[in-house]
Structure 1
Amino acid sequence: MDILSLLGIILAFAAILGGNLLEGGTLATLFNGPAGLIVVGGTLAATILQTSWPILKRALRQVSWVFVPPFISMEDGIGKVIDWSVKSRKQGLLGLEGLAEREPEPFARKGLQLLVDGTEAESIRSIMEVELESREQRDLESAKVYEAMGGYSPTIGIIGAVMGLIQVMTNLEDPQSLGSGIATAFVATIYGVALANLLFFPIANKLRAIVRERSRYEDMMIDGVIAIAEGENPKSIEMRLRGFMPSS
């Protein structure tokens, strides 16, 4: 569980609600059904219209990464590559066949299998980089879905505000209806801007950060597999791979 993501969401909405209370408002004033329907429904509709089903499905699945990101440990990855290097020097590349069958990470397993098959170093790099870039592009498309939602929601909020004001202007002779119309106008704007800046854009940026981190990890794995294929000694491989570690 990513505690910072959970804390960020709690603090964001606590700040909005707390500020409203300190200014003398009530929680009831910020809860408006028509405004929520306009902003949330309109944002979802616009996003669905521009997005293909495979990308939308992947984006909905990957939003869980914000709270439970895929486990990535550069230190464990380096240790794993060093173990492979030591074993290959002792038993040859065919000695990695058992490790390839038991390797849980699909990307690392492919690299091991290419080593066992005796594939040339440049071919290994080409094959693995194509897979990395393809997967990275698909994951970044998921982040773009939430970025699009962040772009649409403030505009939809303005639409809600205009609709509320239209309601006000057409019922000037009925004072009882003025309050609900004005509330819808202003609350819709708050919903649109708040959802964009407190939820959708942060989700998109968090997903991008996770994708970049995973890509760096897989870049490190590629370099490690290439180094094994070229017969480098384990100590040299370790020194090279530690260059991928983030600075303290």
Structure 2
Amino acid sequence: MDPLTIVGIAAAFAAIFTTMILEGGSPAAIFLLPPLILVFVGTFGAGIAGSLLSDVKASLAALKTAFLGKPPSPDGTVQTLVKLAESARREGLLALESAVQDVDDPFLREGLQSAIDGADPEELREILFAQIDTRRAADKQAAKLFGDMGGYAPTIGIIGTVLGLVHVLENLSKPDQLGHLIAGAFVATLWGILSANVIWLPISNKLKRVSEVQCHQMELVVEGVLAIQSGTSPRVVQQKLQSFLPPQAAQKEAA
């Protein structure tokens, strides 16, 4: 589990509420039901209006990845591929038939099985990279909804403020209530800006980053599978795959 999204959003809210308290305000003052309904329901409605039903389902399912998902470990994958390369070099490619069933990564398992079945290396590369492109496009679409909501939220918040100010103008004959009404009118703008920059845009960015890591991992797997299929030396396989790792992970793997 990677808790940084939860930690980051919680820290941002804590900073906002602490600032309000230090300035003599009360966090309870911004929890007004009408602005909350307008900003959150209105933003979600505007977001899904420009999406397909399948896109919305994928985006909602991706929330679990944003908050609880753990990116794959590339160094662990390198170790697995090197061990498979050693077995293939020692016993032959067909000897990996039984080892394939113990591989947890479905993409790696599928690639190895295709290699064992004798798929042409160039065709196998094209097939696997096509799957990576498809995965990247699906992840991009899942993140897009939250990015769109981050763009709509501030504007919808302004709409809420305008509605609130209209209500203020309707009550100019009640000067004792104007301060409260004006303050309430600006709560919608606050929630629009806050939700966009503290919730929706960070979630979108997290999904994009996780997608980058996962697709990079898949590219590493493709190179490893093709190297195993061609009978490359395990040491060369390790050196080649380490070039895909971030510097710190590569140093750790080499050690």
Unaligned runs of 5+ in 2: 249-255
Partners of 1:56 and 1:89 lie apart in 2 by 46
Partners of 2:192 and 2:149 lie apart in 1 by 10
Q: Secondary structure at the match of 1:118?
A: coil
- Equivalence for 1:142: 142
Deviations 1:19-77 (A, max 9, x none): 11111111232111111111111101101111111111111111122232244111110
**Is 1:200 aligned to 2:168, yes or no?**
no
CA contact (8 A) 1:29 1:183 kept: no
- Equivalence for 2:66: 66
Which one is further off, 126-135 or 18-27?
18-27
- Equivalence for 1:91: 91
Partners of 1:32 and 1:176 lie apart in 2 by 20
- Equivalence for 1:227: 227
Q: Secondary structure at the match of 2:247?
A: coil
> Which structure 1 residue ranges, 4+ long, deviate > 3 Å from structure 2?
none
Identity of aligned residues (%): 37
Partners of 2:231 and 2:111 lie apart in 1 by 15
Mapping of residues 1-248 of structure 1, within 5 Å? 1-175=1-175, 177-248=177-248
- Root-mean-square deviation (CA, aligned residues, Å) is 1.4
Deviations 1:104-123 (A, max 9, x none): 22101111111111112111
Deviations 1:142-186 (A, max 9, x none): 111110010000000000000000000112113355345313321
CA contact (8 A) 1:163 1:185 kept: yes
Q: Secondary structure at the match of 2:135?
A: helix
Partners of 2:65 and 2:239 lie apart in 1 by 31
Partners of 1:70 and 1:52 lie apart in 2 by 27
Partners of 1:246 and 1:69 lie apart in 2 by 20
Aligned AA for 1:53? L
Q: Secondary structure at the match of 1:43?
A: helix
Unaligned runs of 5+ in 1: none
Q: How many equivalent pairs are there?
A: 248
Which one is further off, 131-140 or 174-183?
174-183
CA contact (8 A) 2:48 2:145 kept: no
Q: Secondary structure at the match of 1:244?
A: coil
After TM superposition, give the deviation of residue 86 of structure 1 in Å.
Answer: 1.1
Deviations 1:68-89 (A, max 9, x none): 2244111110011111111112
After TM superposition, give the deviation of residue 97 of structure 1 in Å.
Answer: 1.2
Aligned AA for 2:103? E
TM-score for the superposition, normalised by structure 2 = 0.93
Q: Secondary structure at the match of 1:51?
A: coil
